[in-house]
A and B are shown apart, each in its own frame.
Chain A
Amino acid sequence: MRYLDLDIKTINEKLKTKEIKPIDLVNEAFKRIEETDLNCFITLNKEEAIKQALELEKKEVDNILFGLPIAIKDNIITKDLRTTAASHILDDFIPIYDATVISKIKEKNMIIIGKTNMDEFAMGSTGETSYFGNTLNPWNKSLVPGGSSSGSAACVAARITPLSLGTDTGGSIRQPSSFCGLVGLKPTYGRVSRYGIIAFASSLDQVGPITRNVYENALLLNVISGYDKNDLTSSKEQVKDYTSLIGQDVSNLKIAVPNYYMSDTIDKTVRQAVLDVIDLLKEKGCQIDYVDIDYLEYAIPLYQVIALGEASSNLARYDGVKYGLKVDDFKNIDELYKNTRTEGFGNEVKRRIMIGSYILSGENANIYYYKALKLRKAMTDSFKKCLAKYDLIIGPTNTDVAYKLGTKQDDALKSFYDDLLTIPVNMSGLPALSLPVGFKNNLPIGMHIIGNYFEEDKIYQLASFVEKELNLDLNIKEVK
Chain B
Amino acid sequence: MKPTIGIEVHVELKSMAKVFSLSKNNFNDESNTNINVIDLGYPGVLPRLNKGVIDDALKACLALNFNINRLMHFDRKNYFYPDLPKGYQITQQDTPIGYDGYVEISNKKIYLERMHIEEDTCKSLHTTDTLLNFNRAGVPLLEIVTKPCISSGKEAVEYLEKLRETLLYLGISDVKIEEGSMRCDVNVSVSDTDELGTKVEVKNIGSISNVGVAIDYEIQRQEELLANGEVIIEQTRRFDDKSKTTILMRYKETGNDYRYFPEPDIPYVYIDDEWIEQIKREMPVLTDELKDKYTKLGINNNNIKTIIANKEICNFFETVIDDVNPNIAANLLTGDILSYLNKHFIKLEESKLTKDNFIKLVELLDKKTISSKQGKEVINILLDTGKDVLEIVKENKMEQISDNSLVLDIVTKVIDANPDSVKDFKEGKDRAVKYLMGQIMKESKGQVNPGLANQVLVEELKKK
**A338 to B, closest residue via Cβ:** B80
Contact between chains at A317 and B86 (CB < 8 Å): yes
Contact of B262 among A199, A233, A323, A373 (CB under 8 A): A373
Question: In whole Å, how far is B253's beta carbon from the nearest beta carbon of chain A?
Answer: 13
Q: How far is the CA of A241 from the CA of B136 in the complex (A)?
A: 44
Which partner residue on chain A sits nearest B41 by CB separation? A317
Q: What A residues does B229 contact at CB under 8 A?
A: none
CB pair A232–B49 under 8 Å, yes or no, is: yes
Q: How far is the CA of A305 from the CA of B437 in the complex (A)?
A: 93
A residues near B47, Cβ cutoff 8 Å: 232
Q: Mark B145-162, 1 if CB is under 8 A from A, else 0.
A: 000000000000000000
The CA-CA distance from A83 to B257 in the complex, in Å, is: 32
Do A362 and B255 have beta carbons less than 8 Å apart? yes
The answer to whether B44 touches A77, judged by C-beta atoms less than 8 angstroms apart, is: yes
A115 within 8 A of B: no
Interface residues of A in 182-205 (CB under 8 A from B): 194-199, 202-203
Main secondary structure of the interface of A (DSSP, over half): loop
Assuming the A-B contacts A313-B88, A313-B259, are A360 and B78 also in contact, with contact meaning beta carbons closer than 8 angstroms in the complex? Answer: yes
Q: Nearest B residue to A309 by beta-carbon distance?
A: B261
> Known: A194-B46, A230-B46, A230-B48. Is A321-B82 also a contact (CB below 8 A)?
yes
The CA-CA distance from A202 to B257 in the complex, in Å, is 22
On whether A316 and B78 interact (CB within 8 A), knowing A309-B261, A362-B257, the answer reads: yes
Partner of B46 from the list A232, A309, A321 (CB cut-off 8 Å) is: A232
Residue of chain B at shortest CB distance from A97: B37
In the bound complex, do residue B259 and residue A99 qualify as a contact, i.e. CB atoms below 8 Å apart? no
The answer for the CA separation of A38 and B88 in the assembled complex, in Å, is: 38
The stretch that binds A, out of B169-177, B264-272, B290-298, B418-426, is B264-272
Evaluate contact between A317 and B87: CB separation under 8 angstroms. Answer: yes
- A63 interfacial by beta-carbon distance below 8 Å: no
Report how many A-B pairs have Cβ atoms within 8 Å: 96
Contacts A97-B37, A202-B264, A203-B264 known; A361 to B44 CB distance under 8 Å? no
Cross-interface CB contact of B43 among A77, A232, A309, cutoff 8 Å: A77
- Chain A contact-residue range equals 35 or more
Q: Are B43 and A198 in touch, CB under 8 angstroms?
A: yes
Chain A residues contacting B255 (CB-CB under 8 Å) are: 362
A425 to chain B, nearest CB (A): 17
Within the complex, the shortest CB–CB distance from B142 to chain A, in Å, comes to: 21
Is B260 interfacial (CB 8 A cutoff)? yes
Any chain A CB within 8 A of the CB of B76?
yes
Task: Say how far A332's CB is from chain B's closest CB, in angstroms.
Answer: 11
Do residues B42 and A233 form an inter-chain contact, with CB atoms below 8 A? no
**Is A210 in the interface zone, CB < 8 Å from B?**
no
CB distance from B47 to the nearest CB of A (A): 7
Report Cα–Cα, A229/B44, bound state, in Å. Answer: 14
Q: Quick one: given A310-B264, A360-B261, are A93 and B48 in contact (CB under 8 Å)? A: no
Q: Does B40 interact with chain A (Cβ within 8 Å)?
A: yes
**Is A456 among interface residues, defined by CB-CB distance under 8 A?**
no
Which residues 66-118 of B sit at the A interface, judged by CB distance below 8 A? 76, 78, 80, 82, 85-88
How far in angstroms is the closest Cβ of chain B from A326?
15
For the complex, give the distance between the alpha carbons of A361 and B404 in Å. 88
A sample of 6 inter-chain contacts (CB < 8 A) reads A90-B43, A202-B265, A309-B261, A312-B259, A313-B76, A323-B43
